[in-house]
Amino acid sequence: MRELFDEVAGHSPLDPEEAVRRATRIPQRKRFYKQSGHAAAEGGYFVTLDGKPIRTPSGRHVVAPASAIAEAIAAEWNAQGETIDPLTMPLTRFANSIAEVEERVDAVADDIAKYLGSDLLFYRAAHPEALVAREASHWDPVLSWAANDLGAHFILSEGIVHAAQPPQAITAARSVFPADPWAVAALHVVTTLTGSALLALALLHGVRDPDQVWAAAHVDEDWNAEKWGVDEEVAARRAARLVDFRAAVRILEALKA
């Protein structure tokens, strides 16, 4: 089992797009177990294959913090057919990543915080008016929440001209990051998939629901598709990213329950 996810884990285990790219390059392996389940463990729940706890590619036990998460991971293993396809197992890939980064949660949080210096929501179209209005309708409520509730006042810019952000705004937003490794990792996944730490924080704190966050992350892409048609390659990449986005959302929802 370990070698099955060796290349999927890769050098940067929290990068979902890189995980998917690696998964497409490795052969599928035959299913070697009959049943997956979960069992109580210190600090959470093991996911088991025929009664034995699963391990990450480096040999660490996977311990889910909530029974709902362990059940969902076990369901991915039970859903496999004659061969095992890591692409259909986003929660398993997520769990492997968590186990590898639990001891460097601060570094993962630092990586999220970098997005606060150049967040998607800061860079606005200058025209046409309809696109400007659409960006504002999706993005301004999140920025208002950050300003009013977090005290994080960010600077906006037109086009791609870089706008240096006030350090106090970044610090204020960073102060509401979670401390739990699973929550931090899920926040990181949402941030990298959307290009916005602020959207990820809005999701975490219930300011925006998952559908609103996903739509806000693709305002410009959807606008272009409406005007010029859907690019099949772009649509395929987006569908693959959505799988990992939903997995991260599921983790956050389970942690809140």
Higher local confidence (pLDDT), 6 or 161: 161
Helices (H), the chain: 2-9, 16-23, 67-78, 90-101, 105-115, 129-150, 167-174, 181-194, 197-204, 210-217, 219-228, 232-256
Q: Which of 191, 173, 195 is nearest to 249 (CA)?
A: 191
Residue 92: predicted pLDDT: 94
Residues 224, 167 share a domain: yes
Based on the fold, state whether residues 129 and 16 are members of the same structural domain: no
Residue with tokens 């606060």: 116
State the residue range of the domain holding 143. 105-256
Task: Work out the pLDDT band at 26, boundaries 50, 70, 90.
Answer: low
Cα dihedral 123, 247, 242, 135, rounded to 10, equals: -30
Residues β-bridged to residue 41: 44
pLDDT at 100: 76
CB 73 within 8 A of CB 47: yes
Considering the domain architecture, whether residues 22 and 131 belong to the same structural domain is answered as: no
Residue 198 confidence (pLDDT): 98
CA distance 122 to 162: 9
Report how far apart, in Å, the C-alpha atoms of 179 and of each of 3, 20, 63, 124, 134 are. 31, 27, 17, 32, 34
Residue 17 is predicted with a pLDDT of 59
- Confidence check: pLDDT of 5 > 70: no
Same domain, 23 and 87: yes
**For 4-17, what is the mean pLDDT?**
45
Tell me: do 13 and 79 sit in the same domain.
Answer: yes
Helix (H) or strand (E) holding 37: strand 36-41
Characterise 91 by phi-psi region: left (phi > 0), alpha (psi -120 to 50), beta (else): alpha
**Predicted confidence (pLDDT) per residue in 33-85, tens digit:** 999 999 999 999 999 999 999 998 888 899 999 999 999 999 999 999 999 99
Dihedral of alpha carbons 181, 215, 209, 237, sign: negative
Same structural domain, 124 and 165: yes
Tell me which of 17-31, 164-178, 232-246 is least confident: 17-31
Give the chain's domain count: 2
3 state SS of 146: helix
> What are the φ and ψ backbone dihedral angles of 142, each rounded to 5 degrees?
-70, -40
11 pLDDT higher than 90: no
pLDDT at residue 195, rounded to an integer: 96
Euclidean distance between CA atoms 8 and 85, whole angstroms: 11
Give the C-alpha distances (Å, rounded to integers) separating 72 from 51, 67, 75: 16, 9, 5
| CA 168 – CA 14 distance, rounded (Å) | 27
Residue keyed to tokens 């986005």: 245
The pLDDT of residue 25 is 54
The CATH number of residue 238's host domain is 1.10.3580.10
190-209 per-position pLDDT tens digit: 999 999 999 999 999 999 99
58 and 165 share one domain: no
CATH number, domain with residue 32: 3.30.2180.10
> Between 4 and 134, where is the model more confident?
134
Q: Is 183 helix (H, G, I), strand (E, B) or coil?
A: helix
Asked which of 85, 103, 121 is the last residue of a domain, the reply is 103
Q: Are 112 and 233 members of one domain?
A: yes
Residues 131-169 have pLDDT tens digits of: 999 999 999 999 999 999 999 999 999 988 889 999 999
Q: Which of 52, 72, 103 is the last residue of a domain?
A: 103
| pLDDT tens column, 75-102 | 999 999 999 998 899 999 999 888 877 7
Domain stops at, among 83, 103, 123: 103
Which tens digits make up the pLDDT trace of 222-248? 999 999 999 999 999 999 999 999 999
- Cis previous bond, 128, omega within 30: yes
Task: Say if residue 186's pLDDT is above 90.
Answer: yes
The answer to whether residues 160 and 91 belong to one domain is no
> Residue 248: what pLDDT?
96
Task: Give me the torsion for CA of 106, 111, 115, 117, rounded to 10°.
Answer: 70
